[in-house]
Structure 1
């Protein structure tokens, strides 16, 4: 009999205690039957990893140094080390906070994997790029300095024997500079190569730790990524130029031509941003079935929620039918609340690249910045009312606004409080946007400006210079349901996501306006949208006043 089938007869599900096990959750270290797998996965607050039982990985628990017969299956937060059950109850760890070793292992493993991903995909390639650049410059040394030597030879032939001595001297100067140049580049190469060797060793060690699944090694690992984000100094050596002069026998040395000293400048190495702040991730396919991973109750009165903007993966700013803007975590806990300067409810909010909050006040025609809980009015409009706002990759603000008489609408780009660009009409002089209704906007990764124009029942996309690229008016096959877009956002793949409020779904488009698919996830009146740095979608539901976090990539 197959040993796994024989084991199934003996081993039972850890949850129901009756059915034969078929699967194993490596995250929770429990065995599951087919029926209980679904129940187990319903807890979306934990990132489960369910595999077939025969493919499970056994954890290498460390042996307790004080109690050799026991394994360390707990983790002391205060002492920052794994402990056994006997240690937990001992006086040594009295009143210490304990956590499940599996939770700690999961967090540590994820941190290790992030470090490895950053080293392999970002940091090491930059070192390779730098090394390649230095090698290229070294390869061009002969050509560049050869040109100088040729010029010197030509000038020497003109001056014949009178200039021979000076020619030789100049050649000697050139050779000395070349040697110094090459020596400088070799030194720079050695520094870079040494760092690359260290990086290879670190990556190899990380792979070994991840493969071993060893709790002790994982727990003691200390990240060095921050040390290598600052690249080595880049040495720049400027090849000198030669300036020949007309022959004058009385001033041969002076008029032969000057050769300035070799210019060697060392630039401080660039410090790369951490992998979470980078906007060039690998291609991520769309999930066949997106899923809700968290739901946040914002608590706004009348249950009306307008906007959501991500501060981080687990913290979001929200605004609704209230003068108070709220910062909440995934557990619906209120972290910070700030009231508008005027006492009016904010029309829209956005988080800047520096983590500050921007909000628009439709009533007093202002755009305001909140920094360290202090509110500063950065823009005050005349004749126009600000509606929705977004922050760009270049740290500009894009604001869509209506005129006071409700007859015009435009998008304006601001750098600080200075207007840089106004987008209002197409090439034929026709208005790009309809005034008088909700118009959310977002900048795509390709710098297109995407506006969800509810009154026009369209998503209007223009390029960086304001030229119309396309209008999306809903799925071509859908002729029965109206398309009234509200919130809009974009992700690292240049997808455009827009809320279809009345139809309780999200449309996903590519950067050229081609429909890809819907997101449903039991949404109710989806309104405001935003995407965090890991491409998790946050949806503000208008009537329920809840924010749902959705994984769709």
Structure 2
């Protein structure tokens, strides 16, 4: 009840203060008689909401700490506190911006609701997903470590009693690694679970604040959402492998085979962008008629241009069928040329987020970085040979590989020189990729990994975790021409563009693998593709050794 009235008094209009009230304006939070209500509604500068007094909404006004008989019906924007009418007129808040407490309550309530929505729909589900992934990984390692133990047993059966002690030592090492592996994952689970508990408490508190409609609690609320947008660290473990050797009784311990060391790395947790930050980029519709805006003569021999990567919209790195990689501008001027460290021709090239160049060397089994014209080998493979490479939005490297016996293919992710992910099989244990050695790849804006598997005549797309999303095998209506995917790239609209080499065209797909249209532009055997920051497409033509810059959006 208003402090100037008692239970025995007749409630009077707040404006004229002489006539009993009958109505209440919920926008202005004042009580009105019949005549004053008519005048009040005639003010068209605001959308007043006048209701019968008995039907008004109740508001839990905060009592003024400085004037005990007053309620805080206003809000000082500068001091960031609720104030009463006496505070406003006392001069203490002179010159400060004063707003209506109900308007402030509405704005703060909206902010709380947005925070709660983000926690419930975006942040907490990511934590749940991480926890689920760790549990799945724990189940998988039971099988994998079990296989390691079985391999050790099989080797032990061959050597019989002479190597029983060695078998036991190896199994002990496996068990110890498994324990450390599980300990690392359990610790990761505990960290995630703890954060999830904190999130649940925060969401519960927010719901309580929203339900209470308490101005004091609402106005003093401090958002912690930014704290939880940075996800907990994720443990990445490089599983040990077992390498059996031929039996030599004089060197049983060495010949039995060794376990690679268990590698447990904790990655920094990803920082999730806020809901505002992850809004979609401006929509760029596809042009009905794509057009060539520049043609670059690379200087390679005919039939000798394979890859292109653009550090900017005015320059391109190229690699062909020789030991030299070239940086050229749109006028075909050679800006830089660098010979490979081994003298072999590079299999593929990619520009990093820092503007450096990475190239793969099939013969030496190396991945190399060119920085300030200096070449350093960052990765040397064993049992596998690197093929094609791309740099991700997170500055990781994705590399397609083929085994030394040319029977297996996979995609491997590297952070620096550390392997953090290997993608080779689907959920049924079947190979995702054919064994051929032409496998350009690209990361899409939604973090899908897109591989142009030429040997399979398909574009194979998996999600960030390596789970198969779809295979695209060409336009469904085209049954006369075989699909020959080679180069592949993606753009800001999450389109997937792949070079259909033998058919001299580019296929444009959406992020779910639906065909949208072709790009022709008189292309001759298009191979390597890349897209610059403005979504211009660069196409390396094998047949002409030229790069075409194409506007298609």
TM-score with structure 2 setting the length: 0.51
Tell whether the 8 Å contact from 1:291 to 1:521 is kept in structure 2 after alignment: yes
What secondary structure is seen at the aligned counterpart in 1 of 2:502? helix
The aligned residue for residue 370 of structure 2 is 370
Q: Deviations over 1:19-51 (max 9, x none)?
A: xxxxxxxxxxxxxxxxxxxxxxxxxxxxxxxxx
Cα 1:279–1:316 shift into 2, 3 Å = farther
The aligned residue for residue 6 of structure 2 is none
What secondary structure is seen at the aligned counterpart in 2 of 1:299? coil
Cα 1:292–1:302 shift into 2, 3 Å = closer
* CA–CA separation in structure 1 for the residues paired with 2:518 and 2:383: 39
The aligned residue for residue 501 of structure 1 is 501
The aligned residue for residue 534 of structure 2 is 534
* CA–CA separation in structure 2 for the residues paired with 1:524 and 1:303: 10
The aligned residue for residue 182 of structure 1 is 80
* CA–CA separation in structure 2 for the residues paired with 1:438 and 1:451: 10
What secondary structure is seen at the aligned counterpart in 2 of 1:455? helix
Aligned CA RMSD, in angstroms, stands at 3.4
The aligned residue for residue 457 of structure 2 is 457
What secondary structure is seen at the aligned counterpart in 2 of 1:367? strand
**Which structure's CA Rg is the greater one?**
2
Tell whether the 8 Å contact from 1:340 to 1:346 is kept in structure 2 after alignment: yes
The aligned residue for residue 251 of structure 2 is none
* CA–CA separation in structure 2 for the residues paired with 1:392 and 1:360: 16
The aligned residue for residue 388 of structure 1 is 388
What secondary structure is seen at the aligned counterpart in 1 of 2:310? strand
Q: Deviations over 1:230-259 (max 9, x none)?
A: xxxxxxxxxxxxxxxxxxxxxxxxxxxxxx
What secondary structure is seen at the aligned counterpart in 2 of 1:433? coil
The aligned residue for residue 281 of structure 2 is 281
* CA–CA separation in structure 2 for the residues paired with 1:330 and 1:280: 30
Q: Deviations over 1:86-144 (max 9, x none)?
A: xxxxxxxxxxxxxxxxxxxxxxxxxxxxxxxxxxxxxxxxxxxxxxxxxxxxxxxx99x
Q: How far apart are 1:535 and its partner, in Å?
A: 0.5
1:52-451 matches, cutoff 5 A? 182=80, 281-451=281-451
The aligned residue for residue 467 of structure 2 is 467
Q: How far apart are 1:301 and its partner, in Å?
A: 2.7
* CA–CA separation in structure 2 for the residues paired with 1:279 and 1:364: 44
Tell whether the 8 Å contact from 1:448 to 1:464 is kept in structure 2 after alignment: yes
Q: How far apart are 1:302 and its partner, in Å?
A: 4.4
Cα 1:179–1:506 shift into 2, 3 Å = closer
What secondary structure is seen at the aligned counterpart in 1 of 2:445? coil
Q: Deviations over 1:291-340 (max 9, x none)?
A: 10110000113441010001100100000011110000010000011111
The aligned residue for residue 68 of structure 1 is none
* CA–CA separation in structure 2 for the residues paired with 1:179 and 1:518: 57
Tell whether the 8 Å contact from 1:279 to 1:492 is kept in structure 2 after alignment: no
* CA–CA separation in structure 1 for the residues paired with 2:481 and 2:460: 19
Q: How far apart are 1:416 and its partner, in Å?
A: 0.5
Q: How far apart are 1:354 and its partner, in Å?
A: 1.1
* CA–CA separation in structure 1 for the residues paired with 2:463 and 2:422: 13
* CA–CA separation in structure 1 for the residues paired with 2:459 and 2:437: 14
* CA–CA separation in structure 2 for the residues paired with 1:489 and 1:336: 24
The aligned residue for residue 479 of structure 1 is 479
What secondary structure is seen at the aligned counterpart in 1 of 2:456? coil
What secondary structure is seen at the aligned counterpart in 2 of 1:440? strand
* CA–CA separation in structure 1 for the residues paired with 2:484 and 2:504: 11
* CA–CA separation in structure 1 for the residues paired with 2:445 and 2:78: 44
* CA–CA separation in structure 1 for the residues paired with 2:423 and 2:546: 33
Tell whether the 8 Å contact from 1:301 to 1:322 is kept in structure 2 after alignment: no
Tell whether the 8 Å contact from 2:461 to 2:469 is kept in structure 1 after alignment: yes
What secondary structure is seen at the aligned counterpart in 1 of 2:80? helix
Cα 1:279–1:339 shift into 2, 3 Å = farther
* CA–CA separation in structure 1 for the residues paired with 2:302 and 2:521: 23
Tell whether the 8 Å contact from 1:449 to 1:464 is kept in structure 2 after alignment: yes
Cα 1:180–1:409 shift into 2, 3 Å = same
What secondary structure is seen at the aligned counterpart in 2 of 1:436? coil
* CA–CA separation in structure 2 for the residues paired with 1:418 and 1:450: 21
The aligned residue for residue 198 of structure 1 is none
* CA–CA separation in structure 1 for the residues paired with 2:77 and 2:433: 64
What secondary structure is seen at the aligned counterpart in 2 of 1:464? coil
Q: How far apart are 1:401 and its partner, in Å?
A: 0.3
Cα 1:312–1:280 shift into 2, 3 Å = farther
* CA–CA separation in structure 2 for the residues paired with 1:507 and 1:360: 26
TM-score with structure 1 setting the length: 0.51
Q: How far apart are 1:372 and its partner, in Å?
A: 1.1
Q: How far apart are 1:534 and its partner, in Å?
A: 0.5
Q: How far apart are 1:437 and its partner, in Å?
A: 2.5
Tell whether the 8 Å contact from 2:400 to 2:441 is kept in structure 1 after alignment: yes
Q: How far apart are 1:341 and its partner, in Å?
A: 1.0
The aligned residue for residue 210 of structure 1 is none
Tell me the matched-pair count.
Answer: 306
What secondary structure is seen at the aligned counterpart in 2 of 1:522? coil
The aligned residue for residue 97 of structure 1 is none
Cα 1:482–1:385 shift into 2, 3 Å = same
Q: Deviations over 1:389-426 (max 9, x none)?
A: 00001111000100100011000111101111110001
Cα 1:448–1:300 shift into 2, 3 Å = same
The aligned residue for residue 138 of structure 1 is none
* CA–CA separation in structure 2 for the residues paired with 1:482 and 1:436: 17
